Structures are given as C-alpha cells and as structure tokens.
Amino acid sequence: MSTTTVNISFQGRLLSEIDRVAQSESRSRSDLLRESARLYIERKQRWGKLFAYGRKMALRGQLTEQDVTAEVQAHRQAKVARR
C-alpha cells in the first residue's frame, strides 16, 4: 500500500498530547494519527447507518420527531424509576 505525506497543523497542547499518547503506546505519531482517522471514519459510517435505519423505521411506523422524543423521555424516566 502506497502512502502520501501530508502537512497538518496542530495547536501545541494537542500535539504534545498526541506525542505523549504515541510514546506511551510505543507508536509513532503518524501511526497514532492514521488509526485515529480510521476510527473516526468508521464511527461516522456506523452513525450514518444508524440514522438511516432510524429514518426508515420512522417512515415505516409513520412516526414524527415528537413521537421519538416522547419515547426517549419515557424510557429515561423509566430507567431513573428503576434505580
């Protein structure tokens, strides 16, 4: 797999934190940032699929945003009541 070098700017404190984590894991800065980018992209894709599924289910059940909000609130209240 070929690689391409890119230049990117970070604030000093963030770069220091990146370097600290990379060093604590015996990794290079580049390796840590590559994995971070991969994980971010995977998470965005999973959330996209989840929201698409939610939209599909809402359309199928003819649910409104208010219906969903009410259900979430009811679930949260029931969860608190169980404690």
Residue 72 belongs to some domain of the structure: yes
C-alpha–C-alpha distance, residues 72 and 62, integer Å: 17
Residue 29 belongs to some domain of the structure: yes
The pLDDT assigned to 39 comes to 98
Q: Which residues contact 57 (CB under 8 A, 6 or more apart)?
A: 63
Residue 33 belongs to some domain of the structure: yes
Residue 47 belongs to some domain of the structure: yes
Residue 36 belongs to some domain of the structure: yes
Domain count for the chain, please give it: 1
Residue 1 belongs to some domain of the structure: no
- Predicted confidence (pLDDT) per residue in 5-19, tens digit: 999 999 999 999 999
- Predicted confidence (pLDDT) per residue in 34-82, tens digit: 999 999 999 999 999 999 998 898 889 888 889 889 989 999 999 999 8
Residue 3 belongs to some domain of the structure: no
Q: Do 22 and 28 contact (CB within 8 A), yes or no?
A: yes
Domain span at residue 42 reads 12-82
Tokens at 5, concatenated: 């070098």
Residue 16 belongs to some domain of the structure: yes
Q: How many residues does the chain have?
A: 83
